Chain A
């Protein structure tokens, strides 16, 4: 086995092992970290690789979560059917949003999808019995299906599996002709078109795939706390995803992971000193990175490795 494969395997083993070891508060934190990394990876593909700044990513996360809960708890479908139903809803809805929205350029796409996300939030708040309004829905559980308990380390392994699944799909796409088409469109739409890339189809496909992946993460989120409410699916977490990707390194998987881990753990580490003002710190870091470090933290890591390599050559 080559070294690359070995390191991938070691990574997966480490992620799963940590799922089983960590418990209580730290275990819960670890689950949220895994979900955040999964969201960052798919959002990075949409924004960083495909060049579409869409503010609907968290909305699809919510559509997955609410979708699966409403289908099981309110409609009464068995869980496997409800999961399939929630995934299909995400796919269909993202397709309906993508077909008109991908024609919009730059920040106009962001604002159209922002309007969609806000509409989704209004519906959650006003959904009455179906969505539970501002209090959300609680008291459901996924116990008894697939022999997987919905709490404890075993469920964390499920979430880890979803992260690995997300990463695998995105890597496969990125390394195929599709990934090259996405990057070509991001860098120069006219040139990509001249090379024979179908702009419209590629953009829609990237939007639908990444949004559906976000929805799948949302499905697993619903059973992580067995409680969902509208505040989790507002604009704030979307801004956080954007910050994580930009700080980590836009357009690179490693950057998205690094940004997600650093910015997710930073408030936990720093809370004792700065309380809730960590958001101010995020704003400052975001502006500084855009100004002085366009390739993000991962660019710094690269530079450090290059220097190490150069040093090694000299010896």
Chain B
């Protein structure tokens, strides 16, 4: 039982990270319809920013974390300006921005590898290696830090979408771009904002992940696949769907690795199987968008 509870803490930890990456996809996907496969690379940039700001410059977390988030948010905004906005302006085919973002993915990865090299880099645990025990639930301090931060960020994003005028503008664009534009919503600004906020969210995922793994220039693509799987499981229409999808994906992944009677290398295939099953059987995900039948 204790073993299982500890496993659940690590499921929540990993699920939170996947959920954040899924949220980064979702924030871009809803108003623009663009699947941004570079989201995993944004998370990687967040992790490398943490290497710069926290490991090398030795900034305290309270300053370093916001700086990382800001930096990746800026990268997200630049991505939109360079690779997406000109295509939307020209009315290019729907798939064009998706493909140009694949190009950006390679540009980011190769830039990062030429700036930081190809070796593993490390970020210190902000609260040390201590264990935290809450009754029979125990885990590292970083696990709890990740879980609390992610719950807080999801609440913030949820409030943004549900309670603010800006969030409503995003919703309106998600439902009907043309009608939203006629109502006086600035489509350009909404698109740019969605990339900036998506970048910030993915960057946060990277910063949180950095202390518990080694930071490596190839870390982005696996995160992109995991995050997208989480998004498909949870459904693209609701903020809380991304978190639910992340948790479910992490649960399946960790439980197969720990308990299934197959070699752990083979268990790495479980998320892909899950992605295929959901795409084919329930492409709308577990949670449907509000107002959808």
Q: Which residues of A contact B (CB under 8 A)?
A: 53, 100-101, 103-104, 106-108, 111-112, 114-116, 118-119, 122-123, 125-126, 235, 239, 242-243, 246, 277, 279-280, 282-284, 286-287, 290-291, 294
Across-interface contacts of B83 in A (CB, < 8 A): 287, 290-291
Cβ contacts under 8 Å, A100 to chain B = 280
Q: Is B60 an interface residue (CB 8 A)?
A: no
User: Within the assembled complex, what's the spacing in Å between the Cα atoms of A283 and B104?
Assistant: 6
Chain B 213-241 residues near chain A, CB threshold 8 A: 221, 225, 228-229, 232
15 extra interface residue pairs, beta carbon distance < 8 Å, beyond A116-B272, A279-B109: A53-B95, A111-B35, A115-B272, A115-B276, A122-B266, A126-B266, A239-B106, A280-B106, A283-B105, A284-B103, A286-B99, A286-B102, A286-B106, A290-B103, A291-B83
Given contacts A125-B265, A126-B265, contact A277 B110 (CB under 8 A): yes
Pair A277/B114 contact, Cβ less than 8 Å: yes
Q: How far is the CA of A125 from the CA of B268 in the complex (A)?
A: 11
CB-based contact A122/B265 at 8 Å: yes
A-facing residues in B117-170 (Cβ within 8 Å) = none
Chain A positions within 8 Å of B98 at CB level: 106-107
* CA distance in complex: A222, B104 (Å): 33
Contact A290 B94 (CB under 8 A): no
**B15-47 CB contacts (< 8 Å) to partner A:** 35, 37
B59 within 8 Å of A by Cβ? no
CA distance A111 to B233 in the complex (A): 13
Question: 4 nearest interchain CB pairs?
Answer: A283-B106, A286-B103, A280-B110, A283-B107
Asked if B66 CB lies within 8 Å of chain A CBs, one says: no
Q: Is the CB of A287 within 8 A of B107?
A: yes
Chain A contacts for B275, CB-based, 8 A: 111-112, 115
Instruction: Determine the chain A residues whose CB is within 8 A of the CB of B280 once the complex forms.
Output: 100-101, 103-104, 112
Chain B interface size, under 10 / 10 to 19 / 20 to 34 / 35 or more: 35 or more
Which residues of B sit under 8 angstroms from A108, Cβ to Cβ? 279, 283
Min CB distance A56 to B, Å, is 11
Chain A residue, CB-CB nearest to B105: A283
Please report whether the interface of chain A is mostly helix, strand, loop or mixed according to DSSP. Answer: helix
Kindly state the separation between the CA atoms of A100 and B276 in the bound complex, as whole angstroms: 10
| Pairs across A and B, CB under 8 Å, 18 listed | A104-B280, A106-B35, A107-B35, A107-B37, A107-B95, A111-B228, A112-B276, A115-B225, A115-B272, A115-B276, A122-B268, A235-B221, A239-B102, A242-B99, A279-B110, A286-B102, A287-B103, A290-B87
Contact B276 A286 (CB under 8 A): no
Residue of A nearest to B106 (CB): A283
Are A126 and B99 interface neighbours, CB within 8 A?
Answer: no
- Cα(A246)–Cα(B95), bound, Å: 12
- Which of B45-96 touch A at CB < 8 Å? 82-83, 86-87, 92, 94-96
Q: Are A291 and B95 in contact (CB under 8 A)?
A: no
Inside 8 A of B95's CB, which chain A residues have their CB? Answer: 53, 106-107
- Across-interface contacts of B103 in A (CB, < 8 A): 243, 283-284, 286-287, 290
